A and B are shown apart, each in its own frame.
Chain A
């Protein structure tokens, strides 16, 4: 059981949908490799059972996970040969991987990947900078915060794709079109988290800062910033995922250059294998972004004494 999941039911943490199950094994948790643990998966009695000391047991989750991936790939290879699915629409895994290999050798693919990543990184950077700045500004002025609340709650649920027509009219099929959607969607994630972070300032620390007569800049530097940083990182993590989704979506719908556009082209030209290959790439990119931002989050918060609870997104 990890830190985070132990806290439940005191608080589900919406951002943590990324953690679909407690990370494996504290010292007292059942050893994954214990063969008997598999015989009685429902009632493991971890503490009483010593692990067999001979060969180090294989990590069962890993093996099973690999088996799951292999199963999925095999199903993708075999299903098109059955009458269940139409092979014209669902090519075999092999064919898709071939198309992927062909794509990896092409310059256009890398150009599209670079375009998507540029839009993602740029949009995320703008959203994080604007969200953090506005969040700290609004959050440290209580009257403004109270007044802005309803507006934020109103603007936030507006789906970013509502802006698609506007983006097309203003920027056509160029990068700013993608950026508009990415920034709009990612901005709210950051802003809401930072607002919650600034509200979380310890009253004693705030009083101390006042009696030490810290000037506004020092208060920001030593009070608001360290308190809000964990929230900001949560916001960045959520925003990074959303930004990637929106970047690819915008390219797909608007036709601005990038992976999404390549997918649309592959679809309309009937290159089904290539379409599937590109979708695999998009999924892989999503996984990498998830892992990457989580690593950054851990790095940035290493100094932090505890894992803080996150505000609802």
Chain B
């Protein structure tokens, strides 16, 4: 019974909304808002295995590469800057500024420097994804408990041990928070970088549909993009729970 109720809560409203969309658009003759039935039919037709290979997977590969590079760079630099006081003061205003620049604005710049290939798109993703990770890592490192740090020093733990057993655990919740923000930004930048100049990719395909007025196909692209966003968010939640299970347990207990 409880299971049923949970399922109802989880799926009830989405089903109702989809149903409403279906019914409301069923005999829609509007050019821009085709019937949902048509969109779904188009979805199956458009996103074939061929299309996945040609457009979706390259996009995701670039996103993965850029995101991974951002994580490595952001966390490494963040640990370094967070642990080095003068470096922190030196870089802080510059980082604050760099973070405030809307990432898509850098697309033209990176296009100039890196051309319009995969390098450019990955660089665009890195240029936007790195900031939340970097700044959250710095903040996390700075929030490491002073007593614990002193204890580590009193026990004569070396730099590496201090880093791995005190600083990293203390910083990890914030690092994960930064990574979560970055993932959303990365998805957006993946699409934008392909809207500018590309011969393949999800963003390219969607813009192409729009320009050729293939409206149901365009809607199916929007749907696919939405599903990707949801799937990535869900994957990240799994990752979060796997990495930070100790932390979530701690919070539950204190709450």
What are 15 contact pairs spanning A and B, CB under 8 A? A12-B173, A12-B174, A17-B178, A18-B135, A64-B89, A153-B230, A158-B229, A161-B203, A162-B221, A164-B191, A166-B218, A169-B215, A283-B97, A286-B97, A287-B96
CB atoms of A19 and B139 under 8 A apart: yes
From B86, B88, B98, B188, give the contact of A159 (CB < 8 A). Answer: B188
CB atoms of A279 and B105 under 8 A apart: yes
Q: State which size class the interface on A falls in.
A: 35 or more
B196 → A minimal CB distance (Å): 8
Binds A, one of B35-43, B44-52, B54-62, B108-116: B108-116
Main secondary structure on chain B at its contact with chain A?
A: helix
Q: State which size class the interface on B falls in.
A: 35 or more
CB atoms of B170 and A248 under 8 A apart: no
From B113, B222, B230, give the contact of A154 (CB < 8 A). Answer: B230
Binds B, one of A102-110, A144-152, A298-306: A144-152
Which residues of chain B have a CB within 8 Å of any CB of chain A? Answer: 9-14, 17, 32, 82, 84-86, 88-109, 111-113, 132, 135-136, 138-140, 142-143, 145-146, 153, 170, 173-174, 177-178, 180-181, 184, 187-188, 191-192, 195-196, 203, 206-207, 209-210, 215, 218, 221-222, 225-226, 229-230, 232-233, 247, 250-251, 254
Interface residues of A in 143-183 (CB under 8 A from B): 146-151, 153-166, 168-170
A8-B170, A159-B191 given; name 14 further pairs at CB < 8 Å. A8-B174, A17-B178, A20-B135, A68-B90, A69-B94, A72-B94, A159-B184, A159-B188, A162-B191, A162-B229, A248-B104, A260-B105, A282-B105, A286-B99
CB atoms of B112 and A272 under 8 A apart: yes
Residues of B within 8 A of A155 (CB): 226
Known: A90-B113, A286-B100. A249 touches B192 (CB 8 A): yes
Which residues of chain A have a CB within 8 Å of any CB of chain B? Answer: 1, 5, 8-12, 14, 16-22, 38, 41, 43, 60-61, 64-69, 71-72, 85-86, 89-90, 146-151, 153-166, 168-170, 244-245, 248-249, 252-253, 260, 263-264, 266-267, 272, 275-276, 279, 282-287, 289-290, 312
